[in-house]
Structure 1
Amino acid sequence: MLFSGKLNKLRTLALGMVFIGVIIMYIGYAAFVGFLGPWFADNTIIMAFFLVLGFLSIIGSTVMYIWLGLVSTKATRVYCPKCGKVTKIVGMRDECMFCKQMLSLDPADAPGNRQTT
């Protein structure tokens, strides 16, 4: 379920951006303290650069989560013919969030889908 459907893939990417941002910030702090060698120790410019870069990654992730929330409210809900659960489709074709069945809003492409409100 982690990588099924466009919404879940983008949410996983946003979560990864949070972790990458924290790791980048930790590298900046480790360089300042001297864990990465004496060349970077007590260098506030390098620490500030990494802290700002990590902060921007976390802010980018937050913006992505907000955008995905807006997209999720506008997504079309359909019944999956394979598992029988209601799932959301972004665009014309998407996977079921539960069973990874390819679903489509085009009747010629997938004739078994019923659209709900």
Structure 2
Amino acid sequence: MFFKSSKINEFRLWGLMFTLAGMGLMILGTAGIVFWGQAGKIFAAIFMVIGMIGMLLSVGVYFWAGMLSTSAVILTCPECNRQTKILGKTDRCMYCKTKLTLDPNQATHSPTLSEEIAVDDTAK
């Protein structure tokens, strides 16, 4: 993972980046009309189209992140005790950035039988 956050949050971050880049390019294109007058209209049209492609990419990324979020496994983080979503075998908590895994071979700590019984007793 690139930014050390949960995978779903990283996808949402990329969607936000595409949105901001697309809007920035559209504003830059509009500045061409203001500063160059008639010749700036071609400049504005080109940057409006490129900006619109960036905006459509952000819609696609947000849609993809939403579809992944609906099929994500929900579990309780052992550090902050909040419910978080996990994609794949390993991911990070959305809130405290703790590394989480569903694979017992990759886990650094597995609860013992006495810890599991203590957790079950507190849940009652």
Q: TM-score range by the shorter chain?
A: 0.7 to 0.9
Residues 8-87 of structure 1 correspond to what in structure 2 (within 5 A)?
8-34=9-35, 40-43=36-39, 44-87=41-84
Structure 1 segments of 4+ aligned residues over 6 angstroms from their partners: none
How far did residue 75 of structure 1 move? 0.7
Measured after TM superposition, the shift of residue 3 of structure 1 is: 6.2
Query: Which structure: larger Rg?
Result: 2
Normalised by the length of structure 1, the TM-score is: 0.83
- For 1:70 and 1:11, the matched residues in 2 are separated by 12
Structure 1's unaligned 5+ residue stretches are 35-39, 113-117
Higher helix share: 2
TM-score using structure 2 length: 0.78
Q: Distance in 2 between matches of 1:13 and 1:98?
A: 18
RMSD: 1.7
> Contact between 1:3 and 1:12, CA under 8 Å: does it hold in 2?
no
Q: Residues 50-96 of structure 1, C-alpha deviation per residue, up to 9 Å, x if partnerless?
A: 00000110111011111110000011111211111111111111000
Q: Percent identity?
A: 37
Q: Paired residues, what number?
A: 106
